[in-house]
Each structure stands twice: as structure tokens, then as C-alpha cells.
Amino acid sequence: MKQRAADGWHDGWWRRARRIVSPNRGPRPRGSAVELAVIHSISLPPGRYRGDAIERLFCNRLDWDADPYFDSIRGLKVSAHFVIRRAGALQQYVSCDERAWHAGASSWRSRADCNDYSIGIELEGLEGERFTVAQYRRLVGLLRALERRYPLRWVVGHEHIAPGRKRDPGVGFDWQQLVSALGWPRERVPPAAAVSAQAGA
């Protein structure tokens, strides 16, 4: 889907993100509208920040023998549309008009295969730990841009679309801060996240 460069988008790529093209992508099903944003957390190895391991993973160039942890994910082929690094740097790996491989087996509101109709956003971090002010600022700007471009209705965590299988972004993610900054009604986040937000978690 083409748009003028003046609005910040071109063929699903956002000009404010550094483009790094992942081969792990595919077409969305015909007629599928982007209605969901899924927040993840990632660090490779877990708890270690900076470096280029995330980029290498998403581009199928990770040296599986570089760290003992990598052996547990050997051969994994995944991607996300966006990665927000700890200092707020924004990377884009897949056009938002295409399907990234981030959600896996998943369902939202009884609709399966969330990859078909979602945008995957990875925050560099560890599930259960806190994220940075710079990351929240960048995330808010990105979600606003996505809302202007696509019929985005909800923002959820990976834990909400794959309960029992995934736990990210976890209790360290501040849903109240996100909802307040966006000015969105709480109905646009999962019920469990809304309860946590009301409790100030």
C-alpha cells in the first residue's frame, strides 16, 4: 500500500525508524486489516543489552555458538516490525503492510493467528523488569503514527495473546503510563492490563 513520503510512511516503512530488512516476513491475508499492536520484550542473551544480537537473529545471521543461551534457540526464524532499544533508538525490520513472524500461536478476542492482523513491537528488555523513559516516549510516538496510518483498535502484550506460553512484556511494563500518555480509553488495552494500570502497577 503506497503513500506519499510527506506523511512519514512509504510502502509500510516509517521514515523515523532505521530500516533493516528481515527475510522473515510474508504477505498478509487478502482483506486483513491491521487492528492490533503487540508489545514484546527481547534481549539476547536475556538481560544483556546493546550489541547486535537482536538484529542478527531477525536477519538469520546469529552465530549460534557465540553464547551458551543461543543454543536453546538454534535455528529460530523470527522477526518483528519494530524494535525499540533501551536509549529509544527505533529499528524497523518488516514493512507494516507485510506479516512479521512475532506472535506465534496466538489469539485475540477469539480470532487466531495474530500475525495476520497485527504489528509486532519489541522493547529491548527483560520480562518482569522495567523499561526506560526513552522507550515509552518512542513507543507512544510510534503507536500514534500507526493509529494515523492503520485502523488500529487495541494494544496488547504478547502475554495476553499467548497466555501460559509467553510472559512478556511482563509486570515491569507500565500500562498506566502508556494509556495516560496516549490518551486512549482503557478498553483499548487488555482487561488484565487495565486492572494493573488502575492499581498503578
Residues 6+ apart with CB under 8 A from 152: 34, 35, 36, 37, 119, 143, 146
- Annotated catalytic residue: which of 55, 98, 122, 147? 122
At what angle are helices 191-198 and 175-182 packed, to 10 degrees? Answer: 90
CA distance 182 to 176: 10
Q: Is the peptide bond before 151 cis (omega within 30 degrees of 0)?
A: no
Burial of 103: CB neighbours in 10 Å, binned 0-12, 13-18, 19+: buried
Strand partners, 119: 37
Q: Is 122 a catalytic residue?
A: yes
The set of catalytic residues is 122
